[in-house]
């Protein structure tokens, strides 16, 4: 622990002001980075989250220590942690291409709230270190994340008449280490024979390309056509 913080760990009018200003700096530091990247929750949102968590933490300490009420110090903080999940959930979006965005912002809001709890409790060292590490992760680790090799995801549209054709295609995919993440099948009886269309989402477990997969499926019995599609 850093001893020069000891004089401002108790709940007094001065320390309340100091903690609120500290919450403004910490929440604002993370919020500026999010605003710069045009994320849904930006500068003001992070400050308000940090403010609220700080007040909740200080209120718990004040009731237990200054007022000597029979209360659990961690109860208000626990409710803050739960409530932050609802706020963070509002920043998570699923795009038309089935991609999830906003998880980093949601996690940042949650962590900012925890920073506020630490500030309100007088744990300044933990708050400072957390904010510094959060900024490092959000600013510099994005480049590292983009360089991580990910196993490709493929989407294919399969047209067939007999249901056994789909079973053979799925079995071939599994035998060749393609994991099936999604399957949507539609059918029509407008023609003399029923016609089925399947949209299959596949993830390669061995960094395979889709060309060999399509070449094999095209010659599978019962398959009318197969194409790679973008969702």
Q: What is the pLDDT of residues 161-187, one digit of tens each?
A: 888 888 888 888 888 888 888 888 888
Q: Residue ranges per domain, the chain?
A: 3-147, 153-228
Q: How far apart are CA 172 and CA 8, in angstroms?
A: 67
Written in H, E and C, the secondary structure of 170-206 is HHHHHHCCEEEEEEEEEEECCCCCCEEEEEEEEEECC
d(CA 77, CA 13): 21
Please report the pLDDT score of residue 210 as a whole number. 75
Cα–Cα distance list, 17 to 1, 61, 111 (Å): 22, 15, 22
Integer Cα distance of 166 and 33 in angstroms: 48
* pLDDT 10s digits, 82-121: 888 777 777 777 776 667 778 888 888 899 999 999 999 8
Confidence (pTM): 0.66
pLDDT tens column, 50-91 = 989 999 888 888 887 777 776 676 777 788 888 887 777 777
Q: What is the dihedral of CA 22, 25, 29, 31, to 10 degrees?
A: 100
Give the integer Cα–Cα distance in Å for 19 and 9.
9
Integer Rg of the chain from CA: 27
Distant-in-sequence, close-in-space partners of 130: CB < 8 Å, separation ≥ 6? 111, 114, 115, 118
Q: Which CATH superfamily is domain 153-228 in?
A: ACT domain (3.30.70.260)
Question: Which parts of 36-114 are beta strand (E)?
Answer: 93-94, 100-101
């Amino acid at each position: 622990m850093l001893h020069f913080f000891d004089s401002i760990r108790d709940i007094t009018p001065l320390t309340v002001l100091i903690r609120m200003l500290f919450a403004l700096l910490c929440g604002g530091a993370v919020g500026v980075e999010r605003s710069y990247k045009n994320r849904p929750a930006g500068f003001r949102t992070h400050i308000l989250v940090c403010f609220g968590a700080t007040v909740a933490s200080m209120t718990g300490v004040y009731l237990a220590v200054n007022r000597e009420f029979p209360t659990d110090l961690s109860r208000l903080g626990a409710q803050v942690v739960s409530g932050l999940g609802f706020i963070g959930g509002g920043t998570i979006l699923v795009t038309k291409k089935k991609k999830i965005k906003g998880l980093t912002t949601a996690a940042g809001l949650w962590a900012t709230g925890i920073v506020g709890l630490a500030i309100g409790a007088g744990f300044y060292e933990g708050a400072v270190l957390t904010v510094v590490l959060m900024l490092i992760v959000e600013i510099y680790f994005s480049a590292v994340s983009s360089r991580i090799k990910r196993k490709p995801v493929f989407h294919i549209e399969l047209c067939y008449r007999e249901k056994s054709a789909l079973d053979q295609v799925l079995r071939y995919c599994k035998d060749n280490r393609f994991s099936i993440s999604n399957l949507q099948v539609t059918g029509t009886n407008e023609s003399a024979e029923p016609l089925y269309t399947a949209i299959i989402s596949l993830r390669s477990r061995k960094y395979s390309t889709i060309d060999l997969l399509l070449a094999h499926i095209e010659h599978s019995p019962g398959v009318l056509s197969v194409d790679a599609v973008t969702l």
